[in-house]
Amino acid sequence: MTGMTRIQTRFAACAAEGRAALVTFVTAGDPDFETASAILHALPEAGADIIELGVPFTDPMADGIPVQLAGQRALKAGQTLKKTLAMVEAFRAAEHDTPIVLMGYYNPIYVYGVERFLSDAKAAGVDGLIVVDLPPEEDAELCLPALAAGVNFIRLATPTTDDKRLPKVLQNTSGFVYYVSMTGVTGGSIANYDAVGEAVARIKRHTDLPVAVGFGVKTAADAAAIAKGADGVVVGSSLVERVRLSLDAQGKATEKTVSAVTSLVAELAAGVRSAARAAA
Amino acid sequence: MNAPHTPNTYRSGPDENGRFGMYGGRFVAETLMPLILELEQAYEAAKADPAYHAETAYGLKHYVGRPSPLYYAERLTEYFRDKAAASGLSGGAKIYLKREELNHTGSHKVNNVLGQILLARRMGKKRIIAETGAGQHGVATATLCARYGLECIVYMGAVDVARQAPNVFRMQMLGATVVPVESGTKTLKDAMNEALRDWVTNVADTFYCIGTVAGPHPYPAMVRDFQSIIGKETREQMQELEGRLPDSLIACIGGGSNAMGLFHPFLDDPSVEIYGVEAAGHGIPTGLHAASLTGGAPGVLHGNRTYLLMDADGQIKDAHSISAGLDYPGIGPEHSWLHDVGRVSYLSATDEEALEAFQLISKLEGIIPALESAHALARVAELAPKKPQDHLMVVNLSGRGDKDIPQVAEILAAR
């Protein structure tokens, strides 16, 4: 690593292979701390290039039902932000190269204390943050302190982010840009792949950062379709649904829980690799 | 936290970033950001347009039925004077009730909804969404959507749908679609989450009509402006009746819109004492309450920084109150600021105290108050006897209690 961040290095490596990166979202502590830790450790080998680790919150207003339920399972099992950082630290001790991005809402971080959080997150091996309810208008809260602390702050761009607003959104973004494929919550369905491709091209005219696309990517075929035009493909809801469907009647993890997730990750990884990249 | 210094005026907020001191702001997903900027622009343009003011003034007078009376509650005043005398005191404030319960739809909520619906029309939005707790804001929104021929979808926690059945039926009669929210704790905060999820999905044609002085900027300021008619009228009416300003104001607080509406025009009158009353539920020490200022801490939820009920990990806790309209774990950001700078005193009243006041006002004045408003009246019982007889006290009777009668009857029958 010659001054490159883990996220830059990973996107560069995927680009060198002529493919998009697979970004997998799972919720920290879902369905319990031990099982979620086991899932996390198994993700890189299953084919995840970058891991988004969801920080559970009681009021996830940008999430659809699958991610809402995953957060509720985790909170019920006693997950906290502190435990999530401990989970990352244990992962990082075993796996050096796969970037971890924490994704969630501002309040748990605000209550933890921004300075203390950034220092603990950096020490644990967190590479970036996606905080849904912090638009550029609130950059002074966490984005600028994160950049100063050497933690990437990954911004969401959406179909409502027009060309006039895009520079503002991109200004303090680092690591990559997360393009939200639709107006809606996580777990919806993509109606128009062409529109997504056009939007990615539009963003790329404004930035050199990699652009990953998320919201509505569920299957290997979806991943392959998106991977044609994007630098990364984010899959979340269908993975946490795999967790839910693997649980027993009491909602506890079973021996199938980890493999239920990793088997889908492997399919998605194959999907990403099957897509011929559009010429850059 | 540093002690905030006393500002020159308490009425200049919010700043250009939507902040009241450290509170407020625009903590929303990027998808919504262009929408709230558009709303802010549209509201600023409307504020500068005499035609918009004329339209709202007409609606407030002829459809809502304003001005609402400022009524001297003679028997209530005598009652507290007798109580004061019984404990050897000569006091007992002169109590006035600001009769917001006489508005069309039965509460202050309509003042705000009228302003927002007329704004939505100016913006060409055809689909209105709202959240509701007790159903008063939902009913007001459904009413004005009926009046102006707009589609109306009201999100309501499944728990509240069950305990406020009459209001659900009213909304349906008015042509609204009521969506029971099954996510999270199935109460007002979850209804607000679901409304935000709707808005983020239906960005092009939808106007989100928020019911209280909370949410991302410009909502706290805009809703306050619409509700300030309460305080403006009170000022004029008291001048007419008594030739001077009132000495104190009291209002209940959930999100805090009826209180802010009454308080705001008086914030820079230092002689006017101002009291907000939060819902203490089973009592603050039990942890089962809805008193964000008394029992919470600053956090970020639903687009703004404000006092919230939450645990040490920043997870939002359930609020508890006999009154569905106060059952919210947050409060408008301007109240948080007024609390920190000390301009307004924030008190609380328990379920039991509110229930007592509910019965007392019904019997003494022939006015059945909403359980929400009964919280303010409960603190009057404590404050009024301690004030001299020439002390003019205004209580905001924010809503009528018809909707609460089945619930109160059930509670009293069980005793």
In this prediction, residue B185 carries a pLDDT of 84
In this predicted structure, the answer to whether residue A102 has a pLDDT above a threshold of 90 is yes
B41 interfacial to chain A (CB closer than 8 Å): no
Give pLDDT tens digits for B243-285. Answer: 999 999 999 999 999 999 999 999 999 999 999 999 999 999 9
- DSSP SS3 for B393: strand
Model confidence band, residue B7 (pLDDT cutoffs 50, 70, 90): confident
Give pLDDT tens digits for B315-356. Answer: 999 999 999 889 899 999 999 999 999 999 999 999 999 999
In this prediction, residue A1 carries a pLDDT of 42
In this prediction, residue B330 carries a pLDDT of 96
Model confidence band, residue B11 (pLDDT cutoffs 50, 70, 90): very high
Is residue B8 situated within a structural domain? no
In this predicted structure, the answer to whether residue B65 has a pLDDT above a threshold of 80 is yes
In this predicted structure, the answer to whether residue A278 has a pLDDT above a threshold of 60 is no
Query: Which residues have a Cβ under 8 Å from the Cβ of B172 and sit 6 or more positions away?
Result: B178
Q: Which of B224, B251, B284 is the last residue of a domain?
A: B224
Model confidence band, residue A279 (pLDDT cutoffs 50, 70, 90): very low
In this prediction, residue B3 carries a pLDDT of 55
A145 interfacial to chain B (CB closer than 8 Å): no
* Cα–Cα distance, B119 to B128 (Å, whole number): 11
In this prediction, residue B165 carries a pLDDT of 86
* Cα–Cα distance, B393 to B71 (Å, whole number): 11
B1 interfacial to chain A (CB closer than 8 Å): no
Residue of B nearest to A134 (CA): B27
B26 interfacial to chain A (CB closer than 8 Å): yes
Is residue B10 situated within a structural domain? no
B34 shares its domain with B88: no
Tokens 């990793």 correspond to A262
Q: Which secondary structure element, helix H or strand E, spans residue A106, and what is its range?
A: helix A106-112
B58 shares its domain with B193: yes
Cβ atoms of B394 and B378 within 8 Å: the answer is no
Model confidence band, residue A261 (pLDDT cutoffs 50, 70, 90): very high
Q: Determine how β-strand B248-253 pairs with β-strand A21-27.
A: unpaired
**What number is the average pLDDT over the span A63-77?**
97
User: Which pTM value belongs to this model?
Assistant: 0.96
Amino acid type, B380: V
* Cα–Cα distance, B27 to B305 (Å, whole number): 8
Amino acid type, A242: R
Query: Which residues have a Cβ under 8 Å from the Cβ of A151 and sit 6 or more positions away?
Result: A118, A121, A122, A126, A127, A128, A129
Q: What's the CATH number where B327 sits? A: 3.40.50.1100
Chain B residues whose beta carbon lies within 8 Å of the beta carbon of residue A56: 315
Is residue B263 situated within a structural domain? yes
In this prediction, residue B198 carries a pLDDT of 96
B72 shares its domain with B152: no
In this predicted structure, the answer to whether residue A35 has a pLDDT above a threshold of 60 is yes
* Cα–Cα distance, A203 to B21 (Å, whole number): 35
Is residue B326 situated within a structural domain? yes
Is residue B266 situated within a structural domain? yes
* Cα–Cα distance, B129 to A61 (Å, whole number): 15
Q: Which of B202, B224, B246 is the last residue of a domain?
A: B224
* Cα–Cα distance, A100 to A44 (Å, whole number): 11
B158 shares its domain with B250: no
Q: What is the mean pLDDT of chain B?
A: 96
Q: Could you say which DSSP state residue A250 is in?
A: T
What ranges make up the beta strands (E) of A28-74? Answer: 50-54
**What number is the average pLDDT over the span A77-93?**
98
Is residue B7 situated within a structural domain? no
CB-facing half-sphere around the CA of B402: CA atoms within 13 A: 11
Q: What is the mean pLDDT of chain A?
A: 95
In this prediction, residue B2 carries a pLDDT of 53
In this prediction, residue B5 carries a pLDDT of 66
**What number is the average pLDDT over the span A172-187?**
94
B241 shares its domain with B164: no
Amino acid type, B298: P
In this predicted structure, the answer to whether residue B170 has a pLDDT above a threshold of 80 is yes
Query: Which residues have a Cβ under 8 Å from the Cβ of B335 and sit 6 or more positions away?
Result: B213, B253, B256, B259, B260, B276, B293, B306, B307, B344, B346
Q: Which of B200, B224, B248 is the last residue of a domain?
A: B224
* Cα–Cα distance, B32 to A160 (Å, whole number): 8
Q: Which secondary structure element, helix H or strand E, spans residue A239, and what is its range?
A: helix A237-246
B409 shares its domain with B368: yes
In this prediction, residue B324 carries a pLDDT of 86
* Cα–Cα distance, A275 to A72 (Å, whole number): 35
Give pLDDT tens digits for B140-161. Answer: 999 999 999 999 999 999 989 9
> Cα distance from B69 to chain A (closest Cα, Å)?
40
Size of interface A-B (CB pairs under 8 A): 119
B251 shares its domain with B216: no
B196 shares its domain with B289: no
Structural domains of chain A, ranges and CATH numbers in brackets: 6-274 (3.20.20.70)
A87-96, A184-193, B34-43, B392-401: least confident range: A184-193
In this prediction, residue B163 carries a pLDDT of 80
Instruction: Quote ipTM for the complex.
Output: 0.95
In this predicted structure, the answer to whether residue B210 has a pLDDT above a threshold of 60 is yes
In this prediction, residue A94 carries a pLDDT of 97
Give pLDDT tens digits for B178-190. Answer: 999 998 889 899 9
Is residue B339 situated within a structural domain? yes
**What number is the average pLDDT over the span A231-257?**
97
Q: What percent of chain A has pLDDT above 70? A: 98
Q: How many CB atoms lie within 10 A of CB A205?
A: 9
Phi-psi region of B288 (alpha: psi -120 to 50; beta: other; left: phi over 0): beta
What ranges make up the beta strands (E) of B7-139? Answer: 19-20, 23-27, 70-72, 94-99, 127-132
Peptide bond into B14 cis (omega under 30): yes
**What number is the average pLDDT over the span B234-239?**
98
Q: Could you say which DSSP state residue A190 is in?
A: -
Is residue B384 situated within a structural domain? yes
Distance from the Cα of residue A107 to its chain's centroid: 18
B167 shares its domain with B210: yes
Residue of A nearest to B301 (CA): A107
* Cα–Cα distance, B175 to B150 (Å, whole number): 10
For the record, the structure tokens of B235 come out as 């000022």
In this prediction, residue B4 carries a pLDDT of 58
B135 shares its domain with B264: no
**What number is the average pLDDT over the span B104-127?**
98
Range(s) of the domain holding residue B235: 66-106+228-413
Chain A residues whose beta carbon lies within 8 Å of the beta carbon of residue B312: 111
B97 shares its domain with B175: no
Peptide bond into B220 cis (omega under 30): no
For the record, the structure tokens of B175 come out as 């042509």
Q: Could you say which DSSP state residue B16 is in?
A: T
Give pLDDT tens digits for B31-41. Answer: 999 999 999 99
Contact: A158, B30; criterion CB under 8 Å: yes
**What number is the average pLDDT over the span B85-110?**
96
Please tell me the total count of domains within chain B.
2
Tokens 């607080």 correspond to B253
Give pLDDT tens digits for B195-205. Answer: 999 999 999 99
* Cα–Cα distance, A141 to A136 (Å, whole number): 10
Q: What percent of chain B has pLDDT above 90? A: 92
In this prediction, residue A191 carries a pLDDT of 77
B400 shares its domain with B294: yes
